[in-house]
Amino acid sequence: MRHDHIISAKQLSRGDIETVLDHAADIAADPGAFADRHSDTLLGMLFFEPSTRTKMSFTTAMKRLGGDIVDMGSVESSSVKKGESLADTVRVVEGYTDALVLRHPMEGSAKMASEFVDVPLVNAGDGAGQHPTQTLLDLYTIRENAGFDDLTIGIMGDLKYGRTVHSLAHALTTVDARQHFISPESLQLPRSVRYDLHEAGAEVREHTDLDEILPDLDVLYVTRIQAERFPDESEYREVAGQYQIDADTLAAAKDDLTVMHPLPRVDEIAHDVDETTHAQYFQQAHNGVPVRMALLDLMLGGDK
């Protein structure tokens, strides 16, 4: 795998994905074997939006590899508040670190920032655009629970603004997967994402009702309706709370259905689902550490 920057799931081939996931599995099996792999490495953390799982798992991943982080901190406490451009910010922090992780509310920001730096840059979410490392840990979770052969997956919720959906849907075109998209009509896949999927040879199957497809699913990937992405609050209120599942909903599902969620959740998955064998979203979040360890190790010149 040879990429200077990880900006989009579109740049990852099936071979790239398998390389990262296989390496993550090796790390998960024996994390101590990788403890001093990058003892002199500093990872720059540039988060212009709130984050819990992505930021903490990247931090954990770098420290478990023996390195450390340099954190820009909140936007309010940085020079961004004084009007500094993103290009200038990444140029400055590049001089302090060996690699950068960027989250920014503007779609396309990671691609733009990558053009100003020579160290590896990882897109940790650019608005409603892409979130490739979330996709890698999602794929790891899917492979561990359902495999990549003859897979039927339903992706439900905010498909319009959900960057995790956009990344995952494209990556799934590299494996043997049938994709079903469940959402209100107002939150269906953007035309550009639908076009990319068609170009990659995928058939886009769209539904407004989960019940009609649930019994066929091996994986159900649920996403939050993201209030912060809506330009109009009234548009959000029209769809908020429309797509919810609980343990009773899953009575019609296969016994081995895997339920996933990129988190955070609000009310789209009831807490009684947590106690079922279907729930894998907390393990999914935990998988972020070995997957991001694997990616950083490969990007920073690990032995593999």
Shared domain for 228 and 120, answered yes or no, is no
Shared domain for 102 and 184, answered yes or no, is no
Shared domain for 121 and 169, answered yes or no, is no
Q: Which of 23, 37, 54, 89 is catalytic?
A: 54
Shared domain for 113 and 144, answered yes or no, is no
Shared domain for 125 and 178, answered yes or no, is no
Q: What is the mean pLDDT of residues 135-153?
A: 97
Shared domain for 146 and 278, answered yes or no, is yes
- Residue 162 confidence (pLDDT): 85
Shared domain for 280 and 205, answered yes or no, is yes
Answer whether residue 128 shows pLDDT above 90. Answer: no
User: pTM score, two decimals?
Assistant: 0.91
- Residue 235 confidence (pLDDT): 64
> Is 82 a catalytic site residue?
yes
Answer whether residue 147 shows pLDDT above 60. Answer: yes
Shared domain for 28 and 166, answered yes or no, is no
Kindly report, residue by residue over 290-299, the tens digit of the pLDDT. Answer: 999 999 999 9
Shared domain for 199 and 78, answered yes or no, is no
Q: How far apart are CA 258 and CA 102, in angstroms?
A: 30
- Answer yes or no: is 178 a known binding residue: no
Look at the chain and report how many structural domains it folds into. 2
* Residue 62: CATH number of its domain: 3.40.50.1370
**The domain containing residue 278 runs over which residues?**
133-285
Answer whether residue 304 shows pLDDT above 50. Answer: no
Q: What is the mean pLDDT of residues 154-162?
A: 91
Answer whether residue 97 shows pLDDT above 80. Answer: yes
Residue with tokens 């020079």: 79
Q: Which of 5, 55, 104, 131 is catalytic?
A: 131
What percentage of the chain exceeds 90 in pLDDT?
A: 77
Selected residue with higher pLDDT from 76 and 145? 145
Nearest Cα neighbor of 100 from 150, 48, 142, 149 is 48
Average pLDDT, the chain: 91
Q: How far apart are CA 245 and CA 249, in angstroms?
A: 6
Per-residue pLDDT band for 127 (boundaries 50, 70, 90) equals confident
Q: How far apart are CA 131 and CA 166, in angstroms?
A: 8
Q: What is the mean pLDDT of residues 185-209?
A: 90
Shared domain for 235 and 98, answered yes or no, is no
Q: Which of 3, 10, 19, 53 is catalytic?
A: 53
Answer yes or no: are the C-beta atoms of 115 and 150 closer than 8 Å.
no
Question: Looking at the DSSP assignment, which residues form a beta bridge with residue 122?
Answer: 6, 101
Q: Which of 5, 23, 38, 103 is catalytic?
A: 103
Per-residue pLDDT band for 204 (boundaries 50, 70, 90) equals confident
Shared domain for 277 and 292, answered yes or no, is no
> Is 205 a catalytic site residue?
no
Q: How far apart are CA 241 and CA 253, in angstroms?
A: 21
Helix axis angle for 288-299 and 14-29, nearest 10°, is 120
> Is 54 a catalytic site residue?
yes
Per-residue pLDDT band for 301 (boundaries 50, 70, 90) equals confident
Answer whether residue 101 shows pLDDT above 80. Answer: yes
- Answer yes or no: is 134 a known binding residue: yes
- Answer yes or no: is 82 a known binding residue: yes
> Is 286 a catalytic site residue?
no
- Answer yes or no: is 179 a known binding residue: no
- Answer yes or no: is 50 a known binding residue: no
Q: How far apart are CA 181 and CA 157, in angstroms?
A: 8
Per-residue pLDDT band for 80 (boundaries 50, 70, 90) equals confident
Kindly report, residue by residue over 227-246, the tens digit of the pLDDT. Answer: 565 566 666 566 666 788 99
Shared domain for 27 and 123, answered yes or no, is yes
Rg (CA), the chain: 19
- Answer yes or no: is 54 a known binding residue: yes
Average the pLDDT over each of 37-41, 127-131, 165-169, 290-294 and give the range with the smallest value. Answer: 127-131
